[in-house]
Amino acid sequence: MRLDSVVLDDFTLATVLGVCSGKNYAAPGELLHGYSIKSGMESSVPVGNAIITMYAKCGDTEKAGLAFTLMPLRDTISWTAMISAFSQNGDIDRARQCFDTMPERNVITWNSMLSTYFQHGFTEEGMKLYVRMRRKAVKPDWVTFATSIRACADLATVKLGTQVISHAMKFGLSLDVTVANSIVTMYSRCGLIKEAQKVFDSIHVKGLISWNSMMAAFAKNGIGKKVIETFEDMLRTGCKPDHISYVAVLSGCSHMGLVAEGKHYYDSMTRVFGISPTNEHFACMVDLLGRAGLLDQAKNLIDGMPFKPNATVWSALLGACRIHHDSRLAETAMKKLMELNVEDSGGYVLLANIYAELGELEN
């Protein structure tokens, strides 16, 4: 679109600015910003908000902040856009400053600040903000509960998580599918697998995320049989698995020592569903083969990987070497971990234990 021959209204300009996301679009985004100044549309609130969002997605919080400062009028969306801008670029302190200086907040703004804390690992600060939100009598929505319950899962705190769930029930949002998925995850991380399954069973229309949440819950708690059963139930409903589904089912096969089944699922992942294996899938298969004593097969699988194995893959092999007292392969795995600059003493401890168990510590 040639800006010197086309007249845009503020709605169209804001829409086009919204497409300019990522550093590769910084130049056209700045060109559109210049057009907004030339045409006098920079003072339009929707255009100003779009400019802030555009610069944020391009990683330039300074220009986003300048655009925000120069806006003659701002609405709640403007302030929320700035919070998101700082959040996207990891500046948590400035995001909070922006939040604290807002003249007026709505639930979207509170959710934006909650998500900022949770996404950057400041889980306790986020939960404190959630408590403050309750005290301010701000009416929450499904986003509030989904993110807060997920945070409780990260903290593995049953007491606080139960309180948030009760709050969700009060507002009739505990059966929202996204909230329910978060509840399943929270219960599973707290080891309350029966409660997690009750919530899962209560979801009337289960999507892929629901199935994956339940399979991950079983896998995390070492119930491989239920992972496989749930995976097969999902397939029968016509729901297609994704790479997360296969991480769970391969992990389940590994826990149960089901080598043949694991190989079948690994093959079907690519052959039937066209899903390319990632490091996580290879790590699961190495763990499966390694636990079964098929260390050479595990090493051959690694050697045939179409990309460089990461630390998770080599750690899986090292763990298997410990189980089966294979110091030769353990040395290879440890060397690869060192090449990856993995600063983890656990690998050295595993290798030392292998030597000790073989009576080779002096070597």
Residue 263 lies in a domain: yes
pLDDT tens column, 148-188? 998 888 887 888 889 999 999 999 888 899 999 999 999 99
Residue 83 lies in a domain: no
Same domain (yes/no): 272, 217: yes
Same domain (yes/no): 297, 271: no
Residue 284 lies in a domain: no
Q: How many domains does the chain have?
A: 3
Q: List the one residue out of 108, 116, 50 whose CA is nearest residue 80.
A: 108
Residue range(s) defining the domain that contains residue 248: 206-276
pTM, two decimal places: 0.77
Same domain (yes/no): 351, 307: yes
Residue 29 lies in a domain: yes
Domain endpoint, select from 215, 248, 276: 276
Backbone angles phi and psi of 73, in degrees to 5: -130, 140
Q: How confident is the model at residue 334 (pLDDT cuts 50, 70, 90)?
A: confident
Residue 127 lies in a domain: no
Average pLDDT score over residue span 45-69:
84
Domain endpoint, select from 57, 73, 89: 73
| Highest-pLDDT range among 6-15, 70-79, 169-178, 299-308 | 299-308
Q: Contacts from 85-89 at CB under 8 Å and sequence distance 24+?
A: 85/52, 85/53, 85/55, 85/56, 85/61, 86/61, 86/116, 87/112, 87/115, 87/116, 87/119, 87/120, 88/56, 88/57, 88/59, 89/56, 89/59, 89/61
Same domain (yes/no): 14, 60: yes
Same domain (yes/no): 350, 327: yes
- Are the C-beta atoms of 88 and 58 separated by less than 8 Å? no
Residue 247 lies in a domain: yes
Average pLDDT, the chain: 87
Residue 63 lies in a domain: yes
CB atoms near residue 206 (< 10 Å): 19
pLDDT at 1: 46
Residue 115 lies in a domain: no
